[in-house]
Structure 1
């Protein structure tokens, strides 16, 4: 979460001093008797300078001083930060409807057709209709299960690519990104894309989200215009539109399809033609939904796998335990099928523990209050932005024993899950704005991790340990890729030529 502070100050100072003084005067006239604790702030930018690299870590440290519910200021915009189970539950359950709106975010708005997607749409009837279509027709449990063959095919292809590497050092992180991309392309668009089209779009989204002033201070979006960011966003939006327009036209020109082989665009076009939901599903809405599917699905899926494997490499006993479970279930077959994944509790515990330590989006997507409300005894005004530090909650020592340690067994005798009902573990959010694609993402993660550990032995190429440094962005990933040597387990030595 970074931006060019010098550029910001140069352009904003002479124009904003008078405005901010005037706004501050009227703001202070309001009687907010019991606001949450707040750290000192600088003129003009408030607390924005404190959200440097690793904002989730900075905010965790600040919460230790100012408490689990604190008030920051991004210029003139009030922002509350929740860092405890109690605060998260109040926001995403007790007062969920009050905090179900999204603040206007300039760059996401430009690349999602005016926030016509699910993630950034304003709370209201439009958002309810679009989410309902996605949940019922694209991401339901039945629909996710219908794509089992796609997941198994792509995981099998990944395993073959690893074996063809002939025990040389490979970039496993790159393979995991490719796996997520291929699965999502086949499920959403009906085929994979061998070129760099999808990758360029995803890279562009990551780049823009890290540079925007307006993302964090909507009233200063004009700074992004002056620095050329809006022009870059518009160019990316054009590239996104051309890509998805081409995919839609390709589907419209298909000569028939089988219901059982429908991809997401097939389904959405059918809903549009039949008007089966009573909601006018516009062409741009279809494209905006696709932006969400790719933007959220690819990065969070591959990131979760990346962190899980990293932790297993650093914890050989956990790796050994997972391999033992995989071999027990696999029983020498070429691959563990998806039907058997539910027989692997330790696998699921490993992924939960990885999500606890490495939430893909550690601060979740920001929310905004739609009216004045009391929160843990504090007065929260209308229009306050909300950040929930899921990363800090996942490492709270009052909840978790030895919270910095990777201990999957902690999840073997507990009902705590990541689906939004247990606020100790909220990597995908919760409530109305919780991620609707949890089943879809975790089905890929479980199948891929189970089979990687089942088929291969992992070894780092050098004597140095694995670098766990984070790379900032909308999804927190490892700064460096996993470079690893994978050798076929002894169990499969006799079958090398058959894989």
Structure 2
């Protein structure tokens, strides 16, 4: 009977597609349809219950809002789930249960609960709930971000650690990053001469992309103000935004084959284009290596190809392509958005901007050059980055965890297969943890031992435990180097004589958290 009703409503969904047009069909249309479905199945639920059906599910779940039959709490999450779930946690507490369609979801919104989940129960909660979009082109089968803790995952983590993110490897590629950041400074200098407005996010995105592509492939993939750079930016942003969008197919896995919102189709198109780019680069490199009869490792691609050619290696060309996809999507988007948020907060708080510039110019002198080893001598700059990550964590829920076994957290039962969301956005704005939590106050981190490396659960924008972001060491270097260079070499004012208090600081939700409106600023030569 239940399957009959589902099929009937899927047919109605198809009719709605045809009559309204898929491009005009909104999430609310699906929600209204599911409300109708909810009513029908609620009748079935109460009928079976009255006939003596057994109540299923653990009775000691964490508290949470009462779910509707079938659809659960879907209608309550809104288009900015990090904010609505933060509000709900004020009512139901730091560990809260929701029913999102057929998916049991546990939401964690405080440091002490996050520590118990990600440290005490790290092993049991280290698997992943996979968004349907991440299944596009079987990416989840090769992705270091979405693979379960297993031998293939451990191998990829080891490759990331040994080939990319050790201090020795990062020191060896420092000159590449320095060169690309200098190109950013040169681009902004040209904007000074022409009195042009700089799109901060776009300029930083190009810098990060070329820094990463030179480290990986020894080539630039874009140029400032080029159409290619904008297209690449749009492509990466759209994939991250669509994958993170609330998706009915995630709440009702039976609908995956239908892809009712077209999310998997959209993501497949986006990551297909990226994989084709990597495929072309890899095959061109293989041909060059065969022609030159050389296995010299001049960049990461050479190193990975050498590993893949070893008899004992578990790497393949397919795995290498998907690894590059993970590193590009995660590294470029989150790093560039963090710098944009930092610049936005500083322009919104001019006295903090002046304080940061004063520190930089005192440490580096008048005609200095910002280098990575200078960052340790700039405590206020580091405090600015921590404060930015507190207020604007790049991934507001981290990536979703999944309970491999039933565990107890704070005396509540977390059922097996439950999805675990750690709302680091809410944790960063918790008034019981932070004084004046919505104010941008880098000073709170001066003389503070709190860091972002996963040990201090008040501030875990990169996660914690075995699932902590492997690219954290590189992100730390890039973000601080770019921000320091922009602040040291230029003064800044908002475009179109916009006053700081009139800035749009609203957020656009996706897998990563972006400014709704790009930050446009005018550089002034010091």
Do these two structures clear the TM 0.5 threshold for a shared fold by scoring above it?
yes
When residues 160 and 280 of structure 1 are mapped into structure 2, their CA distance, relative to the original with a 3 A threshold, is same
Deviations 1:281-320 (A, max 9, x none): 1221111111111110011101110111111111122111
Map 1:33-432 → 2, pairs under 5 A: 33-111=59-137, 113-165=139-191, 166=193, 167-194=195-222, 195-196=228-229, 198-199=232-233, 201-211=235-245, 213-214=247-248, 216-217=250-251, 219-222=253-256, 224-255=258-289, 262-275=298-311, 278-432=312-466
Match 1:464 to one of 499, 503, 522: 499
| d(CA) in 2 for partners of 1:153, 1:238 | 30
Q: Mark the CA change 1:455 to 1:233 in structure 2 (over 3 Å): closer, same or farther.
A: closer
Q: Report which stretch shifted further, 336-345 or 150-159.
A: 336-345
**Rounded Cα–Cα distance in structure 2 between residues aligned with 1:19 and 1:266:** 59
Q: 1:161 to 1:469 in 2, by over 3 A?
A: same
Unaligned residue ranges in structure 1 (runs of 5+): 490-499
Q: d(CA) in 2 for partners of 1:140 and 1:215?
A: 39
Instruction: Say whether 1:478 aligns with 2:515.
Output: yes
Q: Partners in 2 of 1:431 and 1:108 — Cα distance?
A: 22
**Deviation string, structure 1 residues 118-158 (Cα, Å, up to 9, x no partner):** 11112222211111111122222221222111111111111
Distance of aligned partners of 1:354 and 1:258 in 2 relative to their CA distance in 1, 3 Å threshold: farther
Per-residue deviation, 1:441: 1.0
Distance 1:399 1:215 in 2: 36
CA apart distance, 1:220: 4.2
Query: 1:107, 1:212 within 8 Å by CA — same for their partners in 2?
Result: no
The structure-2 alpha-carbon separation of the partners of 1:448 and 1:111, relative to structure 1 and needing over 3 Å to count, comes to: farther
Compare 232-241 and 101-110 and name the one that shifted more: 232-241
Q: Which segment drifts farther, 110-119 or 194-203?
A: 194-203
Q: Residue 225 of structure 1: SS of its match in structure 2?
A: coil
Change in 2 beyond 3 A, CA 1:265/1:9? farther
CA apart distance, 1:224: 4.9
Q: Does 1:488 align with 2:525?
A: yes
1:438-489 per-residue CA deviation (whole Å, 9 max, x = no partner) reads: 1111111111111111110111131432211111211111111111111111
CA change 1:53–1:9 in 2 (3 A) is closer
CA contact (8 A) 1:357 1:394 kept: yes
Give 1:53 shift: 2.0
Q: Please give the alpha-carbon distance, in whole angstroms, between the structure 1 residues aligned to 2:39 and 2:154.
A: 38
1:5 is matched with which residue? 28
- Give the match for residue 492 of structure 1: none
C-alpha change, 1:436 and 1:236, in structure 2 (3 Å) is same
Bigger drift between 417-426 and 316-325 goes to 316-325
Instruction: Work out whether residues 93 and 431 of structure 1, in 8 Å CA contact, stay in contact via their aligned partners in 2.
Output: yes
**Quick check: 2:128–2:148 contact (8 Å CA) kept in 1?**
yes
The C-alpha deviation readout for 1:57-106, integer Å capped at 9, x for no partner, is 11111000000000001112100000011110011100000000011322
* Preserved CA contact (<8 Å) 1:34 1:379: yes
- CA drift of 1:30 comes to 4.2
Give RMSD over aligned pairs: 2.7
Instruction: Give the Cα–Cα distance (whole angstroms) in 2 for the partners of residues 271 and 328 of structure 1.
Output: 46
- Determine if contact 2:240/2:511 at 8 Å carries over to the other structure: yes
Judge conservation of contact 2:116–2:409 (CA < 8 Å) in 1.
Answer: yes
Instruction: Determine if contact 1:213/1:224 at 8 Å carries over to the other structure.
Output: no
Tell me the number of residue pairs that the alignment of Structure 1 and Structure 2 aligns: 486
8 Å contact kept, 1:369–1:382 = yes
For 1:16 and 1:442, the matched residues in 2 are separated by 50
Helix, strand or coil at the partner of 2:259: helix
279-288 vs 193-202, which deviates more? 193-202
Structure 1 CA distance, aligned partners of 2:140 and 2:344? Answer: 38
CA contact (8 A) 1:212 1:229 kept: no
**What is the CA–CA distance in structure 1 between the aligned matches of 2:336 and 2:163, rounded to whole Å?**
24
The answer (yes or no) to whether the contact 1:109–1:120 under 8 Å persists in 2 is: no
With over 3 angstroms needed to count, the CA separation of the structure-2 counterparts of 1:205 and 1:97, relative to structure 1, is: same
Contact in 1 for aligned 2:201/2:518 (Cα 8 Å): yes
Q: Is the 8 A contact 1:104 1:218 kept in 2?
A: no
Q: 1:243: how far off?
A: 1.4
CA distance in 2, matches of 1:22, 1:372: 26
Question: Contact (CA 8 Å) 2:342, 2:385: kept in 1 or not?
Answer: yes
8 A contact 1:111–1:240 mirrored in 2: no
